[in-house]
Amino acid sequence: MLGNKWVVFVVALVVWAAFFYSMDKFIMEYQGLPVGADMMPV
């Protein structure tokens, strides 16, 4: 199944997204900042 490049593409998108999301979360929390702060323009 992983022979089809588009399948790989979609899988890779998901995997990278998961990776970057956890990276962001880790970095933000490491700095003592919760992810998901109230979004309001300041």
Residues that bind other proteins (CB under 8 A): 2-3, 5-6, 8-9, 12-13, 15-17, 20, 23-24, 27-28, 31, 33, 37-42
Q: Taking the complex as a whole, how short is the minimal distance between the CB of residue 21 and other proteins, in angstroms?
A: 8
Q: Taking the complex as a whole, how short is the minimal distance between the CB of residue 1 and other proteins, in angstroms?
A: 11
Please state, in angstroms and rounded to a whole number, the distance separating the CA atoms of residues 6 and 2.
Answer: 9
Q: Taking the complex as a whole, how short is the minimal distance between the CB of residue 13 and other proteins, in angstroms?
A: 5
Q: Are 5 and 13 in contact (CB under 8 A)?
A: no
Please state, in angstroms and rounded to a whole number, the distance separating the CA atoms of residues 21 and 26.
Answer: 8
